[in-house]
Amino acid sequence: QKEVEQNSGPLSVPEGAIASLNCTYSDRGSQSFFWYRQYSGKSPELIMFIYSNGDKEDGRFTAQLNKASQYVSLLIRDSQPSDSATYLCAVNMDSNYQLIWGAGTKLIIKP
């Protein structure tokens, strides 16, 4: 059974702090990893993807991948109230373009 697991939260973080979101996956052969942000009542929006071990930075967002430990994380620096959303982790576990989705972590940034 191919699975992606996330803590459903809510994760509450003060404004200006670093928010850390984590995701683990079951298939060691997975190659592509994605973070989506979903605001309430809206569709998911791709914010980061990572293919290689290590860190990938894009503005205030950093994705971290550790294939040996089978986890991927998303760090949000200088968190803003507008970052409050549900963050979905998705993993491509084979070559048929399907994504396996985590349940999502609800992030709340407190002013």
Q: How many CB atoms lie within 10 A of CB 20?
A: 14
**Tokens at 99, concatenated:** 């994504």
Per-residue HEC secondary structure of 7-49 comes to CCCCEEEECCCCEEEEEEECCCCCCEEEEEEECCCCCCEEEEE
Instruction: Point out which span in 18-26, 53-61, 76-84, 88-96 binds other proteins (CB under 8 A).
Output: 88-96
Which residue, 1 or 111, has its beta carbon nearer to other proteins? 1
Q: Does residue 29 interact with other proteins by CB under 8 A?
A: no
Segment interacting with other proteins (CB under 8 A) among 10-18, 26-34, 67-75, 76-84: 26-34
Hey, what are 88's tokens? Answer: 């979905």
Q: Is 34 in the site for other proteins (CB under 8 A)?
A: yes
- The footprint of other proteins (CB under 8 A) covers 31-32, 34, 42-46, 49, 88, 90, 92, 96-99, 101-104
